[in-house]
Chains A and B, each alone.
Chain A
């Protein structure tokens, strides 16, 4: 099973306690694989206690891109979190280790 890292370029940013991970499929085939496997339930399960809120995935077919929005993702948000990575810039790298399978529903 491929990882997000093998299929896509990624980058994350923050607003308050919300982290968003931009997932850019490297090609059309990778986009198809990600479209089947990059599901909120699978992402929630993978990120476990790191993210406490719901996960939403927005799909942009023309850009072969996904915007993964994670609520309750930064320990309260940049100004109050105890994490070193206050703005969750590494969230993209953490998510990119997730294996993508089309079995998740």
Chain B
């Protein structure tokens, strides 16, 4: 019978702090620390980077993690698992291997997982008769966007993580590994749970624990209703979970670190970005939170019980990133007096200028920042004659082409020179290329994973040869 497994959160996003992960490795008594580095759009952006340079397409944080965390992880026998390979796990592994060798840890075993990138396989998969139906709109297939596709990636599960850890990897680097799989894989391996048996309730528990941890500091005081209780947020402690063989878990953080963990921070995160909590579909299982209970055991210590789940779906979620025009944005600020009236004057100026030059944006939006930028159409109207100290006008247009976007962008600079006296302007914002997302599914058996485990030295040598 396996003892408890303590697993920690190393990061929740690309650019997250690294010192909390090092703190967990050195003082958290953890077996694994997991680094989620991908958001919904990230892989599409990384795919574009890889198209420009075949050596790119991974998250550069991987090198920082290896440099700062690997030495203590090796000393403390802590496994590191990440999806920072992004669109190019092999490039991430090479970069990680070089840093490991520089640190004198050339015997570090690095597991690389490939297979989630379906960008070059769309035609082949459609030829089997499969349709990439849009999960939200229901649109039946991707014909409308097929010539604008940038990247296609499948959210993959724990099988390959387990295989890499079985190969004695110290570091596991995948591409679009689902956030939850970064945690579920190590837990399944520790407890010997299998997709072939009757472990679905325990796998559901591991996925729930993974879900609670995967955004790191966002479960330990960040982004929280408990912000007033969050001590020293500049040195936020990241959460870890001590998971028992029955699937229950205790979530805490290293004593003395910043932030706060209480029932509310954990409940906030349990349901964060979940839709149906009784049928939360993930690559490794279907999570059912109907019986979950959250109990405070003491300061910054919360017990989770009652997690469950059912067999994993036969399909994997896929994100298709496709080019969808350009966004022009401008911002300008008006001082007292008559700031709101000046904003109205300049909204008309910009609208008319864009039309005068023959451009019809597909969408056009004007916000009074500080008044209605967030609540938009349902923000109450300002009282007549209201004289705020200042108002910012935010102008945004979506256009089909770069040329139209550029015309709109320049029109948004005009309030400074063709508008009222006192109008303040900052550095102009660049035109942005839009990559939109098309969420869909693919049959699981069409997405085989490949796992390679080699030492850092072997990886570096192979590349040099």
Contact = CB atoms under 8 A, between A and B. Distances in A.
Interface of A: 9-11, 13-18, 20, 22, 24, 46-50, 56, 58, 60, 62-63, 65, 67, 69, 71, 76-80, 82-85, 89-90, 93-94
A80 B268 contact: no
B396 interface: yes
B306 A62 contact: yes
B354 to A, nearest CB: 14
Contact of A65 (B135, B271, B398, B435): B271
Contact of B290 (A13, A60, A83): A60
B228 to A, nearest CB: 12
A83 B376 contact: yes
Contacts of A13: 272-273
A82 B327 contact: yes
A50 B41 contact: no
Given A11-B223, A18-B136, A60 B277 contact: yes
Contacts of B223: 11, 89
B273 A20 contact: yes
Contacts of A94: 374-375, 378
Nearest to A14: B273
Nearest to A85: B374
A88 to B, nearest CB: 9
A78 B377 contact: no
A79 B376 CA distance: 18
A16 B224 CA distance: 22
Contact of A50 (B224, B378, B437): B378
Contacts, number: 121
Given A14-B273, A20-B273, A84 B363 contact: no
Contacts of B373: 83-85
Interface string B327-365: 100000000000000000000000000000000000111
Contacts of A22: 267-268, 271-272
Contacts of B327: 82
A63 B267 contact: yes
Interface stretch (B67-75, B291-299, B443-451): B291-299
B133 to A, nearest CB: 14
A35 to B, nearest CB: 15
Nearest to A10: B225
Contacts of B40: 15-16, 78-79
B271 A67 contact: yes
Interface residues of B, number: 50
Given A11-B223, A49-B377, A20 B396 contact: no
B365 A48 contact: no
Main secondary structure, interface of A, reads: mixed
A50 B376 CA distance: 7
A97 B369 CA distance: 19
Contacts of A83: 365, 373, 376
Given A9-B268, A15-B40, A22-B267, 11 more contacts: A13-B272, A16-B40, A16-B437, A18-B136, A20-B272, A24-B225, A58-B278, A62-B306, A63-B293, A67-B277, A78-B40
Contacts of B439: 15-16
Interface in B56-99: none
B441 interface: no
Contacts of A67: 271, 274-277
B275 A77 contact: no
Nearest to B272: A13
A84 B369 contact: yes
A82 B396 CA distance: 6
14 contacts: A9-B226, A11-B268, A16-B135, A18-B136, A22-B272, A50-B378, A58-B278, A63-B289, A63-B292, A65-B267, A82-B364, A84-B369, A84-B374, A94-B375
B14 interface: no
Interface string B157-192: 000000000000000000000000000000000000
Contacts of A48: 377-378
A77 B40 CA distance: 10
Contacts of B378: 46-50, 94
B290 A80 contact: no
B374 A58 contact: no
Contact of A18 (B41, B275, B290): B275
B436 A77 contact: yes
A43 B278 CA distance: 22
Nearest to A61: B290
A82 B398 contact: yes
Contacts of B365: 82-83
